[in-house]
Each structure stands twice: as C-alpha cells, then as structure tokens.
Structure 1
Amino acid sequence: DIDRLAIEMTECKHMGMTVLNPDVNESFVEFAVVPNERKIRFGMAAVKGVGVAAVEEILRARDEGKFTSIEDFAKRVSTSRVNKKAYEALIKTGAFDGFGTRSDLLFNLEDILAFASKLQKEALSGQTDLFGDLGGGSGLMPSIELKTAPVRYTEKEQLMWERELLGLYISAHPLDNFDAFFEEQTIPLHSVTPKIDGQLVTIGGLVTTLRSIVTKSGSKMAFVGLEDNNWGTTCVRMLC
C-alpha cells in the first residue's frame, strides 16, 4: 500500500529519522531500524521486481560474510533465485551503490549475469570452486572488469527509477530545491483531510496523474494527482 507507506515515511521524517535506500549488505526482507541510529533501511522485498525468494537467497549468501564487490555478489548469489529483473531493480534503487555507479552497473549488467551464470554452472559440474581456483587449482578465478558507461544517467532519471520501483523518492526529491517556498506558501499535502473541508488553502507539488471527464451536465472536470517532498499525496478535482 503506497499511500500507507507514504504516511509512515512522513511520520519518520517528522520524527527526525532518515529513510535509507535498500542495500544488499544492510537491508533485510522488510524495513529495519539501523541500530543506534535514527535511520530506517528500506526492505529489499519492498522493491518492485524483487521477490521474497530473491531476498532470502541474498541473505543466505550474506550470512557467510558481507559482499565485497559486485563480482563477489555474482559469485555467491544464485542467478536462479536472483534474476536479471531483480538485479536491475536493485541497481536502479541504489542497493549496489557501494560497488559502483548505477550507470556503470547497468551498462555491465549482461556481462555480470554471464559471469555469474558461467561460474555457477562450472561449480555445479566440478570445474570451478567458487572460493578457490579452477579445476585442479592450476588456473585463475575469472573476474569482472567493469567498463565505464558511455552515457551517464542523470539524477532526475535515477530519482524516477526510485519512484517507479520503491513507490517513493528516497535519496532526494525533485522538489527539494523549493523547500523554503513550499514551507512559506503552502500546507503539506498530508494535511489535506476532511477536517479542513470548506477552507481555502494553497497546496503545491508534482503532478503525478491527470484525468479529465465530461459530466452529465456537459461540464468538463479534471482530477489531478499531486505529490510533495514530504511523501504526501492528494487528488484535486477541478472544473474546467
């Protein structure tokens, strides 16, 4: 429930708590409080495209020690449980930020998956020891060399990924530069409740949805969805 999640995240923000992006080395299935800090870590199962089974596989591998690189992750986490869709979603939401930029990781994703699949198949056939050398120990363990992406994704694009896959902007918000204006000129969207029915108020935010209809009387009407940087959402009905 994205609306309920937005309310809870807003409450956390008002309590002075920071909400952190998912992280393959720190996150669990569900949301979790960071010990001794006023921070909450996003749960990996809350990422669209990443199921509980995939998260459990990541946690199983992590029980043997935190991941030191994307290569280490690819070696230890089964591609039969964590597939391309899950990798992509985790990269886009920042869960691999400790291992490289989102642009570089996405650019190299096919190579990462091919490396993981090849290594794991060879391990099953006895050709490779995932934690040692090849075959009889005479070869060198294959590795991944991340290539630099020719095109860098913008902050706006990365924030849109978060919005799409997490339901919320987490690392930043497109309206952050307008904090002072909104604080002085508007009321937060989460304050728009039946309690203020009939009052004239000023609100502002990003337009997230727009739907227009024609009423039985022939009048045009629009329903506009708005979102602010306090994770508040509302729908405004307008006569055209």
Structure 2
Amino acid sequence: MKPFKFKQFEIQQSKDVFRVGTDGVLLGASADVSSASKVLEIGTGTGLISLMLAQRNSKAEFLGIDIQEEAVGLTKTNFENSVFNVRLKNILQDLKTFEAKDKFDLIVSNPPYFEESGSEKDKIARQTVELNFQQLISKSSTLLSEKGIFSVIVPVEAGSDFMEITKENQLFLTRRINIKGIGNSKVKRLILEFSLIENQLEESEFIIEKSPRKYSDQYLELTKEFHIFKNT
C-alpha cells in the first residue's frame, strides 16, 4: 500500500490497520494542543494524529497506545521516520489496564464507534469490541491533568450518548465543532473537547467540501500546513 505523504512527514499504511482518513486529519488539525506539554493518543493506528499534533506543538512530548500489534509496529515506523521522532513514543497497551506516573494535558482519540457486527474488516479499529465509550471516558478522566483537555471525533449519531457519559464522569463540554460533508447537508461528525473545569462552550460549524470533490475554503485553510494539494 502506498504511503500517504504530508508536507513534513509521511505515513506508511497497511491493509491490516485503519488507514489515513478525513476524521483523523480533522482531529489532528483541530485538537487544542497549544498549551500541552504531555499528550496521550489512545488508539494510534498509523500515528497520524500524534504526528500532526507534534507538528503543531514543537515542545510537547507524545505517548501513543494501541492494542493492535500491527498498529503499534506501523506507528513506530512512522514516528521514527519523522523529524519529530525524539518527542514521540508508542507502546502496545490496553487502555483499560494503562497506568501513568504523570497526568496528560491533552488526551486525544478517534475512537471505535460501530457496535460489534459480523464483519472482520477493521474490527478492532472501528467497532466497540475492545474499548467502549464508557471505558474510554472513565479512564481518560483519571489521566487528565487539572487543566487538561480530552478531545475526540465521533459520528453525530453517537454524540448524545458520548456527552451523557462524560457528564457522569465529571467532564465538562468546552468545545464542539459540527462537521458537515458539504454545505447543505446534515452534520455527520462532531469534534468534542472536554475539561475537568467548567467553561463557556465554544461551538462552531465546519464544512469539508464546497461541492463534490472540491474542498471548502475552511478545509483548505485548516489543513494548509499538512496536505499537499495537487489541485483544489
């Protein structure tokens, strides 16, 4: 499988690991990493999100965890081949048994969101088999620093359940980005950010395409430091 090339790094991909996609790119370009010193990515896949965040924050240190051996190996390759490699580490680790000496200023995840089905394709990466929302949220709440941010991207259909569980775990919604595929369509994804501290909610709308296969000005601006656009 061909690597996916960005301006400052390259992503090696595999048919056995969930590949580079728009959700990961949006989260990597949008998550609030500005004040973070220690970042945890849960479910690294290829390592895309951590690499994007490392490009956006030149001082933060990153730890990625994944339960898939293939994903960990792929992430290791992508981390080691990047110019940010000294600040990036990843390990084979189940979040449910993960312990850390220090808290994290940013925890980021593009979590599994399909209920279990008969399909084996992307079973771990895209189905709530090994990690459900309750486990992800409750564990993340214990790993956040006092002013830390928990940042995720989820389908809009899962948003209500996700936000209800965060409330139960004393996490407050501080930022919500409503993502549409095209201008006149329904919201299809949500980027949600939570904190242990209650603040005024910041809400915005984001449109990926202005017309079929034509990126919007918003998307071009958001990803201009990452994507190599052949045409727009």
- Please indicate, yes or no, whether the TM-score normalized by the shorter chain is above 0.5: no
TM-score, scaled to structure 2: 0.28
Larger radius of gyration: 1
* TM-score normalised per structure 1: 0.27
Higher strand share: 2
Name the structure with the higher helix share.
Answer: 1
